[in-house]
Amino acid sequence: MTETTDEQLLAQARAGDRQALERLLERHQAQVFRFGMKMCRDEEDAKDVLQDTLLTMARTVRDFRGASSLSTWLYTIAHSFCVKKRRKSKFAPTHERSLETEVTEEVATLPDASPTPDAALASKQIEHALEHAMADLEPMYREVLILRDVEGLGAAEVAEVLHLTVQAVKSRLHRARLSVRASVAPLLGIPDANAARASSCPDVLTLFSQHLEEEISQEICAEMEAHLTTCPSCQGVCNSLKRTLALCRTAGPARPVPLPVQTSVKKALRDLLDKNG
């Protein structure tokens, strides 16, 4: 039997089908919870973000007209609650400063699901380093990295969620990518970018990030590729960014929402639906 699509469930939910609404929200609860965990870094806060997001979706589903994708709508709601939590969180900064193919291939080269004990330990160390590197980013950079490189939204969708221009999203994204890469690279056996490269070398890390966002011309791209064939140091640091982004992609699959959280959220949702008839 063909599984009911999100669009079908959404249409049924908007027409008043309570079961369709519950199925739709249950289908997306794991990704909302994951997003809340990565943004808030606290399970209790992530639970609140999940519950508030699903309840808001339930209340407003009939008003959703599909001008945005379902994912964009979902992340927009979840992000607003993450911001509220962040203002109250013990992790909140004292102030905030203003300021694809290649990656997919790197995913395929990551360790398999049954590594040796040494490889498993190294993989776990890299995973922890990635989590810490993302957590250390200022929220304005962390959120664009998570939405773009972990959740897989397009730059325009990220801009819509965060109420930014696409250019602002890309600018923050480049900075976030390079910062996370710098933290993870030593565990990948990659030398420091500045120490390894000659002063005449182009900024291949920024150029590659811009290439992924289609911000550089074919001519500049060709020049960068030609340089990489003759400069092992730049090739190594560029590969480290590819591998870092591949690791971000593998951080994407949603882990199950803890059963007590599911139970609590489901009760709150059903109480809401019962109240609204």
101-250: CATH, from 1.10.3080.10, 1.20.1070.10, 3.40.50.150, 1.10.10.10: 1.10.10.10
Q: For the segment 155-203, what is each residue's pLDDT rounded down to a tens digit? A: 999 999 999 999 999 999 999 999 999 988 888 776 555 555 667 889 9
Residue 236, pLDDT > 90, answer no
CATH 1.20.80.30 holds for 6-95+257-275: no
Better pLDDT: 276 or 122: 276
pLDDT at 273: 85
d(CA 265, CA 272): 11
pLDDT at 91: 43
Give percent of the chain with pLDDT exceeding 90: 51
Q: For the segment 141-165, what is each residue's pLDDT rounded down to a tens digit? A: 999 999 999 999 999 999 999 999 9
Enumerate the domain spans of the chain: 6-95+257-275, 101-250
Instruction: Indicate the pTM of the whole model.
Output: 0.81
pLDDT at 28: 92
The band of 32, judged by pLDDT with boundaries at 50, 70 and 90, is very high
